Amino acid sequence: MRNVLVISYYFPPSGGPGVQRVLKFCRYLPRHGYRPLVLTVPETAAFPVLDPTLAAEIPAEARIYRAPIREFYGLYRRAAGTGPGSPVNLTTTARDQSGLRGRFLQGLRGAFFIPDGRMGWLPGGTRLGMEILRREPVDLIFASGPPFTAHWIGRRLAERTELPLVLDFRDPWTRAPFYPRRPSWARALDVRLERSCVRRAAAVVTVNRQIGSDLRAGVTGLPPERLHVLSNGFDPADFSARVPAAQARWTLVHTGTLPAGRFPEGFVPALASMLRDDPGLDGRMQVRFLGSRDLRLLEMLRQPPLDRVVRFEGYVPHQDSVQALLDSHLLLLFIEEGPQAAGMLTGKLFEYLGSTRPILALAPEGEAAELIRATRAGRVVRGNDVDGIRRALEEASAAHRLGRRAFGEPDPAAVERLSRVEITRQLAGLFDRILGAAG
């Protein structure tokens, strides 16, 4: 069995969407002859959310190494004026903030956290990585980001050992919609760092076509054959052992983080008009939001008449999120308008597909809309189309009353190609080709 050094900040006990891709790769790589040696951070790192249940999915073949990290959360909390128990996401502090303190925080993030707020992992990660490489016969290095400090560690290790490096982009780096406003000198440093990592890689893997296109545009001379799209996916094992619970009400579910900027402007007026025109509907339906959400959304969706049907349940362990998908009658997917919208393929979409429940996507045209249509998994409506959203909700409600699946039946073969098992097989095939060429 060949050894692959997997570098990822997010790993159990971390929860949230960032951990799923790497964890599933580690779970299924041994089937294809690769033992994962995982270089990550201590269990006490400042993860945004925790999900200890995910540790059960780490395969017996894996070996876990935890390098020390100097976290900057304490400094940032003091600057932000928040308490020790308040979560702070150093990745998204580029969003508009008002007042002197807000502008100061934006400047602090943009000027000094390069490439991200986990830059304090670089010294310890590099040291422990080299120790692992001296002790273990590693064949290949695989680094997944964000945070892109993982890519920096991977580049350093590859340069010192001449091992092939594969970089995994779950999100864009310097072209992300949440990229901080940096002074010109800081942006130049970050762009140079990104290019140096990409140029050192034997292959670059992205979760969608848009990220690959951005990298080709930003990294001069990057051979197109080095770029590979391996989408996110769903794990059939997450769903096979679970039984949907009967729901007395027509149940709509949205899972995952929900910032205010992502919420479609047409959803509230469409749903509110349905509730006003059908006084008994509030007793027959419920809308569940599972995951972190913006406080402004909380206030808006608790206004009448939506307050009678909307439930906010906060972050739940992954297994409970999967159960909520199975218990639903309609899944809600929200993608905001913007320059990066065309390439947005959120991880939750693939779990939605794995659940086989119908999807109502309030989204612009792009890769997510294409995938939903290709799999016949649901309906796509623009987020500002109030009438279109209401018609889709009414159609789904009518199908539920008749005991039918809303929006028709999906294409099972198209969905199966998106399983984590299949995506990992493709990743292992890429490793085989790289090592075959190197040998």
The domain over range 2-233+420-438 is classified in CATH as 3.40.50.2000: yes
Contacts of 56 (CB under 8 A, 6+ apart): none
Task: Give backbone dihedrals phi and psi of 53, rounded to 5 degrees, phi first.
Answer: -65, -25
Coil, helix or strand for 213?
helix
> Running DSSP on this structure, what letter comes out for residue 17?
G
Residue 140: closest CA among 439, 435, 436: 435
State the pLDDT at residue 302. 83
CA 320 – CA 325 distance, rounded (Å) = 9
State the pLDDT at residue 88. 45
State the pLDDT at residue 428. 98
pTM of the shown model: 0.89
State the pLDDT at residue 346. 86
State the pLDDT at residue 367. 93
Question: Which residues make beta-bridge pairs with 419?
Answer: 234
| Domain boundaries, given as residue ranges, for the chain | 2-233+420-438, 236-416
Tens-digit pLDDT string for the chain (439 aa): 999 999 999 999 999 888 999 999 999 999 999 999 999 999 999 898 899 999 999 999 999 999 999 987 656 555 555 544 444 444 443 344 555 665 666 667 778 889 998 999 999 999 999 999 999 999 999 999 999 999 999 999 999 999 999 999 999 999 887 777 899 999 999 999 999 999 999 999 999 999 999 999 999 889 999 999 999 999 999 998 889 998 889 999 999 888 777 889 999 999 999 999 998 999 999 999 998 777 777 788 888 898 999 999 988 999 999 999 999 999 999 998 877 777 888 889 999 999 999 999 999 999 999 999 999 999 999 999 999 999 999 999 999 999 999 999 999 999 999 999 999 999 999 999 999 987 6
Distances (CA, A) of 116 to 15, 67, 196, 379: 19, 17, 16, 36
Coil, helix or strand for 392?
helix
> Could you check whether 2-233+420-438 and 236-416 share the same CATH topology?
yes
CA-derived radius of gyration, the chain: 22
Contacts of 34 (CB under 8 A, 6+ apart): 1, 2, 3, 4, 428, 431
The domain over range 236-416 is classified in CATH as 3.40.50.2000: yes
State the pLDDT at residue 87. 46
State the pLDDT at residue 100. 62
Q: Which pair of tokens denotes residue 414?
A: 């198209």
Residue 73: closest CA among 96, 45, 54: 45
Q: Which pair of tokens denotes residue 203?
A: 């292959």
H or E element, residue 333:
strand 330-334
State the pLDDT at residue 256. 87
Contacts of 308 (CB under 8 A, 6+ apart): 275, 282
State the pLDDT at residue 95. 45
